[in-house]
Structure 1
Amino acid sequence: MSPALPEGDAAPADGALPPSVRAGAGRRGFGVYLHVPFCTVRCGYCDFNTYTATELGGGASQVAYADTALAEITLGARVMRDAGLPERPASTVFVGGGTPTVLPAGDLVRMLDGVRGAWGLADDAEVTTEANPDSVTPESLAELRRGGFTRVSFGMQSAVPHVLATLERTHDPRRIPDVVRWARDAGLAVSLDLIYGTPGESLADWRTSLETALATGVDHVSAYALVVERGTKMAVQVRRGDLALPDEDDQAAKYELADDLLTAAGLTWYEVSNWARTPADACRHNLAYWRNDDWWGVGPGAHSHVGGVRWWNVKHPRAYAARLAAGESPAAGRETVEDASARLERVMLGVRLHEGLPVDALSPAARSRVAGLVADGLVDGRAALGAAGDAPGRRVRLTRRGRLLADAVVRTLAD
C-alpha cells in the first residue's frame, strides 16, 4: 500500500497558480518528472504509488497511459503560461515509477516529445528513465536514445540471489553487466541503484553487490539504506518475526564499506547516498530537488513545486485519468511553503550535499551550534571556517561520521 497523500488546501479545478510564483522564477531551474505507476510485480518493501495489472482493475489502461500523461503536460504548460511565468525549457526530465520500461519505448519517447513541445528542452537537457534490468532490450534502449533520452538508472538493488529474493526482485543478477553494456552501446549514461540493510544480508553479501556494480565501470551509483515503511508486505513480515531487520551498527558498517569501495574506484559522494565519477556524472534532476528548483510532476500521485507552491495529484490512475478527461487538473491538494518551513527544508536538503550549506543561511542561533558539530566530528571544520578552498565562504559540510548522523545534524541546526 502506498502512503497517504499529504494534508493541504484544496487545489483549484483548473490548476491555476497564484501570482507569487513569478517572484525569482528566472533564477530557478525547471525540470519535469513523469511518473509511470505500473509494475509487473509489487516488491514487498515498496510503498511507492505503483500498481500491478491485478491491483488496477478496470478503467486504468497501460495502453492509454501515455495519452493521459500528455493531457497533463498540455495542462501544465497552459497553467504556467497563465501564471505569467517566464518561458523556461526543461533542463532535466526524469521518468520514474513504478517501472517506466514496462511501457513500450515508443510511449516513453512520445511523453518526452510532449514535454519538448509544451515547455521545450534545453540543448544540454539530462533525460533519465528508471528501468528494471529485466525490462529492457538492446533495441528498446537504442530506441530511447534515438528519442532523446540521455541516461538510464537501473534498479540493481543487489547482486546476491537470496537478497533479491527477500526483496522480491524478479531480475537475474547475472544480467546486470549485459544491460549496462547495452545501454552504453546505445549511447546512454548509466546509473546503478543499490539497497543495503535487507534482512539476512551479510557484510560479505553487500561487498559482493558493490564489487559487481563497480566491475561494470558505471559512472554513477546510488546506495540507499532499506527503510521498511508501514503498510508494506515486508513490514508485516517484520512485525510477525518472519524477518529481522539489521541494527544501526550493521547499517553504518555497510555505508562505510560503500564509501570506501566507491571512493577507491574513483567515485566521489555528492549527496549522502549518491556517488559520481565526475561532477558531470551527477544526477542533475535530483540535484534540482535538493536545491529547491521548480518542477512539474506528471502522473498519479506525482508531486510538483513551483515558486514555493507545492501540490500533489490524486493517487489512483483511474481517478487521475478521469480528472484529465473532464478537462480538470488532477491535483488533489496543495500548500504554500511558509518562510519557516522553507528555511527548515533548506537545512534538511542543503546539508546532505557535498557542497554543503552556507553558514549564512542559518539563523544566528543555529550558527552558534556549528562549532559544537565540528567538535563532535560531524561537520568539516575547514569548510565551516571557509578554509576548504573548493566552495566559497563558510559552509556546513558533513564529515563521513556526519553523513551517518545527518538527521541529528539537521535537528541541531533546525529552529
Structure 2
Amino acid sequence: MDNFQITLTRAGLGAIIRDDGPGFITVVIAQIGLTDAEFTVASTLTALPGEFKRLDVSGQQVGDDIVHMVALDASDDAYTYRGFALYLSDGTLFGAYGQSGPIAAKAQPSATHIVVDIHLSGGMADAISFGDTNFLNPPATTTRQGVVELATVEEAAAGLDPLRAITPATAYGALLDWLRGRNISVGLIDAYTPNIGTTGAVRILANGQTGKAILQCLNVDGSRQLGYLLVDDTGAAQWHGGPFNADLLGGHDAGWFADIVSRLGYVPFDSAGFTGAAVKAVLGYTPQDAADFSFGSNASGYWRRMPGGLIEQWGEVTAGETGSPPALNFPIPFTDLASINLQVTARAPNIGATNGNKVGGNRVSLTQFNVFSDDLNMDVFWRAIGK
C-alpha cells in the first residue's frame, strides 16, 4: 500500500507548537474518526465531513520520528471508509486524510483494526502521547522490534526502500540481479581462497563448456573493460589489453617481439652501414628530394663533396724554392684529373723577394699535387676544385 499524505490542521499545529519560544507542547491523540464521504482535505478543517464513527486509539512512539496508532472496532457495524481524522483529547482535529476510492471496508460479523503510522519531522513525534496503550502492534524501526513488511526481489534489488525487510530468498534474487547487471556469469565462476599450503591466493574454475578461465579487469564503476587474462586448458596464459608485465606485453610474449623485422614491417637501417646510399635505396630517393653532401678533414687538409660529384679541397703548406717540388697528398682522391683546378696564394708578402714573389702549383695525379716558390720558401694557401 502506498503511503498516505496526512494534512495537519492549523488547529492541530496551534495545539502542539509553543507560542512563547522554541519546542513543542505535549498533546494526546485520543480518537480517530471515519468517513465515507469525498471531501477536500485542507488545513482549515475543524471537523471531518460526513463522519459516521469515532474510535479510541492506542499509540506509541516507535523511533525514527514515527508514531504508531491502532484503533479496534469489534462492533457488528458494516461500512466502507475513504477518509479519516485524528482528534486530540480535547476534541481538536489534529490531522486528516481523504481519497476518492475506499481505503478499507468492514463486514458485519468481523472486527477491524485500523493502523496508522505517522512520520513527523523536527522532533514533533516526541511531543505526542496516547491515552490508551492496551493494544499495540507497532512497526519495526531501528530502535524497536515490531511488524515489518517483506520486500520483493525487485524492491531488494533496487536498494532504495528503508522500511521493508528482506529474506534470504529475496537477498539471493537481488544479488543475482546485481551480478547479471555486471555481466558476471554466475555458476561458471567459483572463486575462493585455497587452504594453507596450496599454491595461489584465489582460484577460478574454468568454464565448463570452453575449458578456459577468464579473469576480467574493469574500471572503477564497472562500465568499461580494461583487459582480461585468459588461461586455456593447457595452462597457457595470455593477457588481452594494455601492458601487463615483462613476459606478457600487450598480449604477446618475448618471442613475439624478438622478430623485429616482422613487427616493424620493414628492415631497419644498420647503424654500422648507415650511409646516404642506404637511406636513398629504402626511401625511393630522387635527386630533387635529397642529394649527397659530405665533408671532413685530415692531416692533408679539408674537403667537401657536393651534389653532382663536385669536390672542393683546401689547406696550407710551405712552398719551397726548388726546381723539383715534392708531391703532396690531397685529403681525398679526385676522380677526373682534367677537371682539377689548383690555386696557390701566398700567406704574406715577401719584401725581400728579388724574383717577383711568385708562387704556384701543379696537379700531379688524382691523389697528389705540388707547390713552388720562385724566391725563398713561402707559406701558402692552396685550394683545388674538380671531380
TM-score tier after normalising by the smaller chain length: under 0.3
Say which structure is richer in helix.
Answer: 1
**TM-score, normalised on structure 2?**
0.16
- Relative contact order, CA 8 A, sep 6+: which one is greater? 1
**TM-score, normalised on structure 1?**
0.16
Say which structure is richer in strand.
Answer: 2
